[in-house]
A = this chain, B = another copy of it.
Amino acid sequence: MSSVYVAGVGMTKFGKSAETLLDLFSEAATLALARSPVEEIDAIYIGAMNPEEFTGESNIAAQVAEALGVSGVPATRVETASSAGAAALHAACHAVASGYYRSVLVVGGEKMTHLSTSAATRILAEVIERQERLCGATMPALAAMITERYRKRYRLSLSQLERVLCLVAMKNHLNGARNPCAQFQKPITKEMYLSSKLVSTPLRLYDCSPMTDGAAAVILTAEKTDLIVSGIGQGTGPTGLRERKSFTSFDATRVAAERAYRMAGISPKDIDFAEVHDAFTPFEIISSEDLGFFPAGKGWQAVEEGKTSIDGELPINPSGGLKSRGHPVGGSGVAQVVEVAERLRGNVKTKSRREPRRALAQSTGGLGANNLVTIIERVDGARAQISWSQATGRSRPLRRRPPIAAAPSEEGRIETFTILYVTPDGFLPPLALALVRDRAGQLVMAQGEDIGHLKIGRDVYLRQLDGSYVFTVKSHLRKVKEAMRRLVSGLPSLPRDTKKTPASREERP
């Protein structure tokens, strides 16, 4: 088995580009190669999420080889939704580690900004589980529901949450302002954050990563360089929110991180800085817990204490992250490794207390459904050879998924919710969405009759409508009925209903 080293890296400017996807790939690859001791490559691995629908491009791997002038060279496209770049990098690592190829080019990217936001959102929303998508759920809506659950579980007030998310957004925009490749290069203020529009409560525009064109490239090689890939790990999780064991943590990240740490023979405290998939600001916090940097429920405090700032004890997203660098979906996983390599090499100055020797990149596919972790170290750390055979974790035997009961019972309780202000085509804003647990314990995504009276733990009526589900808050329905009765009978007003709703079932810790 060979060790896998990082040679040249390069990336395009992220943002809105007039170049084609193939041109973006070529530009990033050419930059990486120009800065590499390796001059010839044996194969190409391409990370792209959905060029078929974003740009009408199929057979992209052969096209990239052709555009790079090396038609003939093996080229393979790898896809795991928005973590496709990281998955391409891992496939390339296996190919080099096996000895089959000596040096390979990994290039990831996407072209998105030429489409309208609604068209691009529709394509991105295809990763969402079907029943949830049919209710009008978008990625920001699902992220928002996870955020609301996190807030409830760890007892943050709405204003505490708002402050913390604002801090993440400000930190990442400040970092991005120093990154010449970042899409957004201006710091944002608290006032800008607070006046930005609500996308899906409690998430604002500044909590969401943008649509981006861009590509990034990394050369991996068996020839010793200054940086080694010391740990990789991947994990999957359910695509639907309904199927999760926890709503405040991503199992896929935990599995991926555990494997990567085991392979590298290190623990989270050995990491000097990290690039984390902050497609939404709360996901940076949740991932910082899943990666073991902070205990569950303490990630938000770490942000408040400045621990994840560029001069903190564990800088997270010193590059600006997806939030400010931009998020060309299939490219982000490779871009993270480019940023990590540049900082470990000292090409980009960090303000951290210690000179960084070891960094981690974490990439998320879909709603935390296919996540990857990559650990890169400086070779002068004088570590023993990395063993590729220590990472295997055996899985359970396969068993086909049992069918889900056809229709839920007619009553249930809100597990989490959001009000969506930027809705997909065919849905009028504001749209209330809730994950409802019925009496049989089954979860369904449902649309709210109206946007008032939403709270985790509240009892609701549930009914089917056009293949989707609609919920009505019980206490609200009672009030409506009472108001109607009053209208009809002309009786004086009754005192306000103050009966408390029972607390919702919390996740296992």
Query: Measuring CB to CB, which residues of chain A are less than 8 angstroms from any residue of chain B?
Result: 1, 26, 29-30, 33, 39-43, 49-50, 52-53, 56-63, 65-81, 87, 90-91, 93-95, 97-102, 105, 123, 126-127, 232-239, 243, 251-252, 255-256, 365-366, 369-370, 387-389, 391-401
Min CB gap A402→B, angstroms: 8
Contact A41 B80 (CB under 8 A): no
16 A-B pairs besides A42-B393, A62-B252, A74-B256 with CB distance below 8 A are A1-B1, A29-B398, A30-B398, A53-B53, A61-B80, A66-B236, A66-B401, A68-B400, A71-B237, A71-B251, A72-B236, A72-B396, A91-B95, A93-B98, A97-B98, A99-B387
**What residues of B have a CB within 8 angstroms of the CB of A238 in the complex?**
62, 66, 71
Cβ B43 vs Cβ A234 within 8 A: yes
Known: A62-B365, A399-B69. A392 touches B77 (CB 8 A): no
By a CB distance below 8 angstroms, the chain B residues around A71 are 236-238, 243, 251
Closest chain B residue to A240, Cβ basis? B66
Partner of A94, one of B40, B95, B365: B95
Contact among B26, B58, B60 with A400 in the assembled complex (CB-CB below 8 Å): B26
- Contact call B102/A69, Cβ cutoff below 8 A: no
* Docked pose: A73 CA to B78 CA in angstroms: 17
Closest to A394 in B: B40
Give the chain B neighbours of A243 by CB distance below 8 A: 66, 71
Q: B389 contacts A99, CB within 8 Å?
A: yes
> A119: shortest Cβ distance to chain B, in Å?
14
21 A-B contact pairs sorted by A residue (CB < 8 Å) = A1-B99, A30-B398, A33-B398, A41-B395, A50-B58, A52-B52, A53-B53, A58-B126, A62-B80, A62-B238, A63-B239, A67-B400, A68-B398, A70-B395, A72-B236, A76-B78, A76-B91, A77-B79, A79-B79, A94-B95, A94-B100
CA distance A384 to B401 in the complex (A): 42
Residue on B with the closest CB to A259? B74
CA distance A75 to B398 in the complex (A): 13
In the bound assembly, the distance between CA atoms of A416 and B87 in angstroms comes to 41
Asked if B401 and A42 sit within 8 Å, CB to CB, the answer is no
Name the residue on B nearest A105 (C-beta): B398
Contact indicator B100/A388 (Cβ below 8 Å): yes
Give the Cβ gap from A206 to chain B, nearest Cβ, in Å: 26
Residues of B within 8 Å of A397, CB to CB, are: 33, 39-40
Indicate whether A78 sits within 8 Å of B78 (C-beta atoms), given known contacts A41-B395, A58-B126, A66-B238. Answer: yes
- Nearest B residue to A370, CB-CB: B62
Which residues from B are CB-within-8-Å of A77?
78-80
**Within the assembled complex, what's the spacing in Å between the Cα atoms of A93 and B94?**
9
Interface centre among A90, A94, A400 (most CB of B within 10 A): A94
